[in-house]
Copies of this chain bind each other. A is one copy, B any other.
């Protein structure tokens, strides 16, 4: 009783062949209904579970997806980008919903990629999170491509069309954030975040920002742009530089919530009030956003939908169906950091 029951044990008890047990457990209509039910009852009684290794080996697929999350080494190791954590939650759920298991792994930027999940038949496909900064990963993606690995990458559309990417519409997000600021009569918007082609997601947000400005007939305030990566401290530093630059601005569009929160800390430290003196919009709507002080007005990425689409698309890819890149719409969440609505 200590060792696990196998299909042969069940076959013996049911007085049928092992093949019939296997069919019955998969609920095959080939097996007589009565026999089927009897077998299933015995299986339940014995607490029998199909051995995944055996069935996967036989069918040559694992019914498992792997999620690789890029870990920013500049961060304290316990501080994974909270946005990715939200995505992790929704991807986990979406995967389970499709009857798949999910293998999760954090990958150091520096270390060798152990993206051999598919090669070793541990997973049928891979979801890449946090590799938006694709410049540094190009050769690794190339290798995945060469190996015919099924994978999908979260982020801006990739310049290599063979790489399937799913992401939120960062351009549109940049537009709505900027339009919101403008609608509140701020006209001189600073931008905090790396807008180079090195950070395609930030860049798209910036491009949307620029477009909205242009549409409104307002010039980009190039002097008030400072690079930042998506951490609180980087946002703090960038805002300090902005402040020290002496250039005029009445509002800030931060390329991420973490940057926005850091910037607000810098502003406060210099005695600047948000939103009375300076309005701030963030991006992501991470859980912290609503607890910030003032609560952040921000562009929400729909992580639930994103997770579902990511998983669905990867599954299609695995099954050899046609899938293209997709852009998920974003929406504005108005809180207090720009004024406008005050529901404190």
Copies of this chain in its oligomeric complex: 2
Contacts of A2 in B (CB 8 A): 148
Interface size on A, residues (CB 8 A): 50
Whether A52 contacts B102 in the complex (CB less than 8 A), given A85-B89, A287-B79, A288-B288, comes out as no
Q: Give CA–CA (A306, B148) in the complex, Å.
A: 38
When distances are taken between beta carbons in the complex, the residues of chain B under 8 Å from A102 are 103-105
A contact patch SS: mixed
Q: Does A116 contact B (CB under 8 A)?
A: yes
- Asked whether A50 is an interface residue with its Cβ less than 8 Å from the other chain, the reply is yes
Interface of chain A residues 137 through 155 with chain B (CB within 8 A): 147-148
- Residues of B contacting A30 with CB < 8 Å? none
Interface residues in A117-152 by Cβ distance below 8 A to B read 119-122, 147-148
A19 within 8 A of B: no
Min CB distance, A277 to chain B, in Å? 18
Closest to A122 in B: B52
What are 8 sample pairs from A and B whose C-beta atoms fall under 8 A apart? A57-B57, A77-B93, A79-B287, A88-B104, A92-B106, A96-B105, A102-B105, A293-B293
Q: Which residues of A pack against B, CB within 8 Å?
A: 2, 4, 47-54, 56-57, 62, 64, 77-80, 82, 85-86, 88-90, 92-93, 96, 101-106, 116, 119-122, 147-148, 261, 268, 287-288, 291-293, 303-304, 344
